Structure 1
Amino acid sequence: MAKQIFHQRYLSHFLHHRTITTATVTADTLQNSTTTTVSPLPPPQPQTPNSITRTSISKQFETWLEKLKPGFTPYDVNEALQSQSDPDLAFDIFRWTGQQRNYKHNSTTYLTMIQIAVSGKRYNHAETLVEEIIAGACSGSVPLYNSVIKFCCGRKFLFNRAFDVYKKMLNCEETKPNLETYKLLLDSLLRRFHNDNVSFVYLRGVKSMSKQMKAAGVVPDTFAQNMIIKAHAKCREIDQAIRVFREMGLYGNEPNLYTYCYLIHGLCEKERVDEGLGFYKEMRERGFVPKGSTFMILICSLAMEQRFEDAISVVFDMLNCSMSPDLLTYKTVIEGLCREGRVDDAFDILEEFRKKDSFMNEKTYKILLNGLHYMNQ
């Protein structure tokens, strides 16, 4: 009896969506088939349209029915969903089982269905499931809520929904947010740091997340603290960024390449170049190689403060790391020397840069050389 109900409700649904496609393919195949053979082709055998599709789907349904015998549990449904390769069929099975008497989906089946929907790019299905979960369709769990937050953070118009789920987690003793929850939300906030005005708005959210994480006793890792440092540095609240940096040891975390790059950028933008140079030296002592953009902002900042020896030293360090400054960085250093009356030094250093920089082409060299001749007139 269960098989008959299952076939009647769902076979017609799937076959309806596949009828047009298969019929079109059949018509195109017949139209493009060759008609120049010597003997006529035998008449086609009569068959019901989409008979192949019907047979395939019927077999899939038979497999499901074997798995989902009367009295099935959420464990049985979860096993069946995980073995299904068709996300649309999985969703309909999820719906069908949810409509049966004496059965209710739990957090495990909802988690599996969301993962299937997202991986299969059935985002409308996933959005529907998210709304059901927020409405209380099942008992929650931390993995389920984190999966929902991750999905919502990846969809711009669902950004606020991610925080609705977070609030739901806070209100339940069994589903308190963990480190993954906070990292997902911090990352989502940081991705909205586009300009100063917007960044300052979302910085408040980062500060709030940081405070709540500490209050909940959640120990941050290096990645989480780096995001907090980056948020403060981007908004030029560099003292707060350094404070978070100093706290890393308290949690047993070690700063990495990104930690130092965020601090150096923030300090140079605040014209605290000496401190930026200090973090750069500490970084190099630890064996980290800065990004090209970090090298260049430090070089330009040092040159603009007439600290040319330090700037030139960083340039050579950059070249030794097989990276090349851009034209603007070179001009800042070389033309800065000219303005200080050190024209001969500028010509000499340009030649040294040319020898060391295998990436410097003739065009760049001529532009820099012409600039020196112009300033020397």
Structure 2
Amino acid sequence: MFAIPRNQLQHHYCNKNPIYSGFYLAVSQTHVSTSTTAQRHSNSACSSNSTTALFRFLGKEPRNAIFCRHSMVALYSSRTYRGPISRSLRRRISKRAKAAAKPVLDQTLFQRATSQLPPRFTHEELHNVIALQDDPLVCLELFNWASQQHRFRHNVLTYHITIKKLGAAKMYKEMDDVVNQVLAVPSVASEALYNTMIYYFTEARKLIRAVNIYNQMRSSRKLDCRPSIRTYNILFAALLSRGKNSYVNHVYMETVRCLFKQMVDDGVEPDIFCLNSMIKGYVLSLHVNDALRIFHQMGTVYNCQPNSYSYDYLIHGLCAQGRTRNARELCDRMKRSGFVPSSKSYNSLVNSLALEGEIDEAVKFLWEMAENQRLADFITYRTVLDEISRQKRIGDALRLLEVFQEKNLVDRHMYGKLLYELEDTSRGPNIRS
């Protein structure tokens, strides 16, 4: 192995790459030896691939980490990782490396963009030139360059397009600087501009920042800067997009409830997306009765009729709480309204019926799913077949599985897994064929 002393490695790389001069390399002293003795022992040396990676690291293609057999040399961190490196840890290290790497401005593109502007350009002309740029760094440089031009002040158009470009490129720090300039001049703002700020801050998971901008909108004296239904829908979507963790949704649901109350008090009429967000939030936070209250108020209070998503959220929530009879009634009402339940609703209903021992009804809904071109998942089929087997009718379960295969409801892989489950169950005691 070609060994380089740590101080020389750090000095060489920092001088060659001044961008990373604030960081240094952490080398495991246990597994990476700088002595000449280590060159003669293969068990403590890195592989030839690692040596190649080391030369690449010092050359034109810097790497964020060098992996050896038992250790890793990590950039951007003083931590030393020993032992096998997991995939998730490699992803985190790579993500930090990309975040720390500073992009370089393409001067040619920037000069080409400025040449498209006349000597005394207008806001519309600058907006059009920025909108045509694919490189967000060029957009930011154009914005800063225009700020230094004599008698030019940015307006809503130029602020808006710049924030859009930076937010879409996930350059949130640079976007935050532009947003601070907008907030410093309250007269230069609009509802669409504020909504764009809120949207990209929610994309960056900076929810506190997004809510602060929302509060500034509410306190604005300009009526065209007040929150609209679009503003609330952006916030609802961000607060309720935390996956299926019911505890997390329970915590955020209180904020959503307060936002909904403020929206109604301010005279903003909710739309179907807003009401479905409330239903979804209540279902995910296990407040199904509150979701039903919103559902029953949609037509009478808010003058907005439920759609298929409204029914699907509720059917799934009712089944999750074991309220199968209410879910069936709501499903029948949904079909009378002209909607077809989703695969998730059907799967939830079939599972609930099977777990309650209503096998005939569960199988009936399975055939209905096939007629409506809705796919049942593996858990649904297994639940139905297991319940049939539990009632000591293993022969009926096997025959039903054969019918599923004949009608191409299950593929070969799923059929094999289900057959294995049934054969394993049939080996138990007191099973009737």
Distance (Å, rounded) in 2 between the aligned partners of 1:236 and 1:56: 53
- Picking from 131, 134, 142, the partner of 2:183 is 134
- Picking from 359, 370, 382, the partner of 1:308 is 359
- Picking from 264, 279, 296, the partner of 2:330 is 279
Distance (Å, rounded) in 2 between the aligned partners of 1:192 and 1:118: 20
Q: Provide the residue aligned with 2:209 in structure 1.
A: 161
Deviation at 1:272, TM superposition (A): 0.8
Q: Do residues 205 (structure 1) and 255 (structure 2) align?
A: yes
What is the one-letter code of the residue matched to 1:317? Answer: E
Unaligned stretches of 5+ residues in structure 1? 1-27, 29-52
What is the one-letter code of the residue matched to 1:247? Answer: Q
What is the one-letter code of the residue matched to 1:300? Answer: N
Asked if 1 retains the 8 angstrom alpha-carbon contact of 2:280 and 2:313, the reply is: yes
Identity %: 30
| C-alpha distance 360-130 of structure 1, shift in aligned 2 (>3 A) | same
| C-alpha distance 271-73 of structure 1, shift in aligned 2 (>3 A) | same
Structure with the larger helix share: 1
TM-score if structure 1 supplies the norm length?
Answer: 0.75
Moved more, 115-124 or 211-220: 115-124
What is the one-letter code of the residue matched to 2:419? Answer: K
Distance (Å, rounded) in 2 between the aligned partners of 1:85 and 1:300: 49
Distance (Å, rounded) in 2 between the aligned partners of 1:84 and 1:234: 41
* Structure with bigger RCO (C-alpha 8 Å, 6+ apart): 1
- Picking from 105, 111, 116, the partner of 2:165 is 116
- Picking from 147, 151, 154, the partner of 1:105 is 154
Deviation at 1:332, TM superposition (A): 2.2
| C-alpha distance 101-59 of structure 1, shift in aligned 2 (>3 A) | closer
Deviation at 1:150, TM superposition (A): 0.8
Deviation at 1:233, TM superposition (A): 0.5
Distance (Å, rounded) in 2 between the aligned partners of 1:215 and 1:254: 21
Deviation at 1:213, TM superposition (A): 1.3
1:190-231 Cα deviation digits (max 9, x unpaired): 012552322211010111111111111112221111111000
| C-alpha distance 333-371 of structure 1, shift in aligned 2 (>3 A) | farther
Alignment of 1:60-71 (within 5 A): 60-64=113-117, 66=118, 68-69=119-120
Deviation at 1:319, TM superposition (A): 2.4
TM-score if structure 2 supplies the norm length?
Answer: 0.66
Unaligned stretches of 5+ residues in structure 2? 1-59, 61-105
Helix, strand or coil for the counterpart of 2:269? coil
- Picking from 263, 266, 290, the partner of 2:317 is 266
| C-alpha distance 255-349 of structure 1, shift in aligned 2 (>3 A) | same
Equivalent pairs counted in the alignment come to 322
Deviation at 1:112, TM superposition (A): 1.8
Deviation at 1:318, TM superposition (A): 1.7
Asked if 1 retains the 8 angstrom alpha-carbon contact of 2:394 and 2:426, the reply is: no
| C-alpha distance 89-285 of structure 1, shift in aligned 2 (>3 A) | same
- Picking from 329, 332, 336, the partner of 2:387 is 336
Distance (Å, rounded) in 2 between the aligned partners of 1:143 and 1:330: 48
Deviation at 1:100, TM superposition (A): 4.2
- Picking from 205, 210, 215, the partner of 2:265 is 215
Asked if 2 retains the 8 angstrom alpha-carbon contact of 1:324 and 1:359, the reply is: no
Distance (Å, rounded) in 2 between the aligned partners of 1:368 and 1:84: 58
